[in-house]
Structure 1
Amino acid sequence: MRVVSLVPSLTESVAATAPGVLVGATDWCSHPADLDVTRVRGTKNPDLDAVRALSPDVVLASAEENRAPDLELLRAAGLRVWVTDIRTVDDAFPQLRAMLTEGCGLPAPAWLDEAERAWAAVEPVLPPLRAVIPIWRRPWMVVGRDTFTGDVLRRLGVENVHGGHPERYPRIPVDELNAARPDLVVLPDEPYAFTAGDGPEAFPGVPCALVSGRHLTWYGPSLAEAPAVLRRELDDPLENRMT
């Protein structure tokens, strides 16, 4: 089996299950840190010639991350393309299991069962906190409707202020974000690398949680530890404000 992955979280999923089958991944595939495969540029601009040259048995992709025209060109070249469309935590487990077992011919990994147990044990905090969830600035963009990120936070007791927006990742000026009067601002370190000095200053008087983008937005082995990691990161600014 030869696998090319065009999505960082799917790359990590295969690498944690059977690293020897991966022959290609994007420049953004950062986990595991010692991944040694041919790089095929990014999720939005993959080098299709490089992918074809690797002669993969399957190319792994995501409906959200990858462009449909690129995937159609790979199919037209005779390659098998397996596309995930994961928008909730509940979506993640059966789709990852099918991708690994049916798509890649691998046994179901122990880490997937561990992740499912971790999320089954999560009890949401009530009442939920209303949060704004930026993913970019210049211009400001936030998490909107129907996203995996929004569902992860919902399960942890965080209500997305823009969860009912007609767009999935709308552009909203920062003064409008503040006008929504959120209880919390959630600032992940990807795709935009928010830091203590870059992001919180735009939301004066509002607690800001700096969280791991990998645990908030990736569906893969990180799911197993995500509930504990994110709950700690979400609680820190609120506890600091109270003290």
Structure 2
Amino acid sequence: MKRYTDQIGNTIIVNAVPKRIISLVPSQTELLFDLGLEDSIIGITKFCVHPYHLKSTKKVIGGTKKVHLEKIRLLNPDIIIANKEENTEEMVTALREIAPVWVSDIATIQDSLDMIAELGRLFAVRTTAQHWIDKINYAVTDFAAFMENKAVQKAAYFIWKNPYMAAGKGTFINEMLKLNKFSNIYEDRGRYPEIIIQKIRIQGDPDVVLLSSEPYPFKEEDAFEVGRFTHHAKTVFVDGEMFSWYGSRMVKAFPYFKQLQERLA
């Protein structure tokens, strides 16, 4: 019997290395795959799109906010991997009646590295986990050197429309914005503040407006609408996965950020 503590402070007790895993978070599903645990993954959400073939080889048990509890019960999982932000507290409470639930809580790169290390211990893949930690640390250091002489730009990062919502303080997105030397004009407005787009100039007058590909798929007409209310901002469509997915996805994020910086230049 072994005890593990998840990232919200709960103790997880397992009798052996878990072999039947359900993942409720897309970026964590991708990480589990990259840790070499594909054969142990038995259930995923409909939003777990990387790697794509998992949709046809694993049981889809619902979304990130609402799952089919009976489907999960029938899969007889050894453990369920969840996230504080992506999954609801009520859902996690109900799932604990079925199996131990390990919950991540990610706001910084260090949080993500800690998660990778802990999952490496939990699933007995420490060496592979350390390999990914080393790759991410190298990518972060390399990107910091790339950004060293770049000027800070004021930015707004939109994740939703009707109402407009932005990424704010305490989010992983905000951490990635900082690494890109984007000063978030909505950082002092909470985690995901609702925004009156007509007031964007008086709220911070950004140099750059980033329209994410997820969870809301912004279109050209949205860029035009936002652009009407800015003073001089460049409006750029960005890959939301690169800004919001933690775990192994970060190895791909930093080369993407270099391309983004070159586009803005």
Say if 2:154 is the partner of 1:130: yes
| Alpha-carbon shift at residue 72 of structure 1 (Å) | 1.1
Opposite residue 7 of structure 1, the aligned amino acid is: V
2:181 is aligned to: 157
Deviation of 1:5 after TM superposition, in Å, equals 0.2
Identity of matched residues, %? 29
Three-state SS of the structure 2 residue aligned to 1:203 is helix
Aligned to 2:8: none
Which residue in 2 is equivalent to 1:185?
209
Select 2:255's aligned residue among 198, 209, 228: 228
Taking the aligned partners of 2:248 and 2:96, their CA distance within structure 1 comes to: 28
Residue 50 of structure 1, CA deviation? 1.3
Which amino acid in the other structure matches residue 15 of structure 1? F
Q: Distance in 2 between matches of 1:234 and 1:198?
A: 22
Corresponding position of 1:173: 196
Contact 1:211 1:234 in 2 (8 A): no
Structure 1 equivalent of residue 63 of structure 2: 42
Alpha-carbon shift at residue 196 of structure 1 (Å): 3.6
Contact persistence 2:143–2:258 (CA under 8 A): no
Bigger mean CA offset, 12-21 vs 191-200: 191-200
CA distance in 1, matches of 2:62, 2:180: 34
Q: Which runs of 5+ in 1 are unaligned?
A: none
1:121 corresponds to 2:142: yes
1:153-200 deviations in whole A, cap 9, x for unaligned?
1012111111111x2101111112243210100111011112344334
Contact 1:3/1:104, CA 8 A, preserved across alignment: no
1:217 aligns with 2:238: no
**Structure-1 residue corresponding to 2:29:** 11
Count of aligned pairs between the two proteins: 235
Provide the C-alpha distance between the structure 1 equivalents of 2:170 and 2:180, rounded to a whole number of angstroms.
Answer: 16
Any residues of structure 2 matched to 1:14-93 within 5 Å, and which?
14-18=32-36, 19-35=38-54, 36-77=57-98, 79-93=99-113
Find the aligned partners of 2:223 and 2:122 in 1 and give their Cα distance.
40
Equivalent position SS for 1:154: helix
Letter of the aligned partner of 1:162 in structure 2? Y
CA distance in 2, matches of 1:108, 1:152: 26
Residue identity opposite 2:49 in structure 1? S
CA deviations on 1:208-238 (whole Å, 9 max, x unpaired) are: 12111111100122201211202312441x3
Which residue of structure 1 aligns with residue 15 of structure 2?
none
Structure 2 unaligned spans of 5+: 1-18
Superposition TM-score, scaled by structure 1 size: 0.91
Is the alpha carbon distance of 1:67 and 1:108 closer, same or farther for their aligned partners in structure 2, counting shifts above 3 Å? Answer: farther
Using the size of structure 2 for normalisation, the TM-score is 0.83
- 1:38-75, Cα deviation, whole Å (9 max, x unpaired): 00110001112211211111100001100111111111
Name the CA distance, whole Å, in 1 between partners of 2:137 and 2:220: 32
How far apart, in 2, do the equivalents of 1:34 and 1:227 lie? 25
SS of residue matched to 2:195: coil
